[in-house]
């Protein structure tokens, strides 16, 4: 089960997990775009908004109906960033959305589906975090705070599930070229493109590779954390950039 499967890392994970033999159920707010992903690989698309408790409850009930023997994998991918405001200019609504989508959404999905993950006898929860979960940078307080919280949730869950047949993994990417920056900059495609100027970022498929690799290890092997950066990025604010043509 993959959240946020309509684009980016979520869509790539749906495709690669389907290719690896998984029967995939995925949810997102944009059901039409989600079906564009699922129709080509035979996955199941369902409406889901992780920021709405009622949506999560309805989704979880449908998943349990379709997976009576238990759910083997939950990929909590839904999330994102809004804005680059400094702390003194921070907007409550942006912070609230980031915590709702990155943290509370992950909490709701995990809480709702944990019984069926345990029932499977070999469940796995993979949370898509970020290097923003252990680094900070100017203008990023809202997003880094949310991803720090997600990392704390993930590490706590690993402790609490000790002895249960459920593995817990966080995949923490650096710069990945998806719709992430376009959403962050309120649809400003030109500004979003500049984030990746002069360097080679990761792709959504690179991170989906990590998801598939982590979950296809033997059941006794738990990959606690994977930190994945492009070669051109050593830290959140330390990126090697080559001259862009025309400059």
Q: Exposed e or buried b for every residue in 45-63, given b needs 16+ CB within 10 A?
A: bbebbbbeeebbeebbebb
- Pinpoint the alpha helices (H) of the chain: 8-19, 31-38, 53-66, 92-99, 105-119, 141-160, 180-184, 189-194, 204-215
DSSP three-state, residue 223:
coil
Cβ atoms 72, 51 nearer than 8 A: no
Q: Which of 22, 137, 143, 196 is catalytic?
A: 143
Sheet holding 44-47, edge to edge: 44-47, 25-28, 2-3, 74-76, 123-128, 166-173, 225-228
Among this protein's residues, is 143 annotated catalytic? yes
Interacting residues of 41 by C-beta distance below 8 A, sequence separation 6+: 14, 15, 18, 19, 24
Q: Which residues are catalytic?
A: 143
């Amino acid at each position: 089960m993959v959240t946020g499967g309509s684009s980016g890392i979520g869509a790539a994970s749906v495709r690669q997990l389907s290719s690896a033999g998984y029967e995939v159920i995925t949810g997102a707010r944009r059901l039409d775009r989600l079906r564009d992903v699922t129709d080509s690989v035979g996955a199941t698309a369902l409406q889901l908004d992780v920021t709405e408790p009622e949506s999560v409850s309805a989704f979880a009930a449908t998943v349990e109906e379709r997976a009576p023997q238990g759910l083997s994998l939950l990929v909590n991918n839904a999330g994102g960033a809004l804005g680059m405001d400094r702390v003194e200019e921070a907007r409550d609504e942006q912070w609230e959305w980031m915590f709702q989508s990155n943290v509370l959404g992950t909490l709701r999905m995990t809480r709702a589906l944990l019984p069926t993950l345990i029932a499977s006898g070999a469940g796995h929860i993979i949370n898509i975090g970020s290097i923003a979960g252990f680094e900070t940078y100017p203008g990023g307080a809202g997003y880094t705070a949310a991803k720090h919280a997600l990392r704390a949730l993930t590490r706590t869950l690993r402790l609490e599930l000790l002895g249960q047949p459920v593995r817990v993994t966080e995949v923490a990417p650096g710069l990945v070229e998806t719709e992430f920056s376009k959403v962050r900059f309120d649809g400003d495609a030109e500004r979003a493109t500049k984030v990746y100027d002069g360097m080679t970022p990761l792709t959504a498929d690179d991170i989906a590779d990590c998801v598939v690799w982590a979950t296809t290890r033997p059941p006794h092997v738990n990959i606690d954390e994977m930190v994945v950066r492009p070669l051109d990025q050593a830290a959140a604010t330390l990126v090697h950039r080559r001259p862009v043509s025309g400059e």
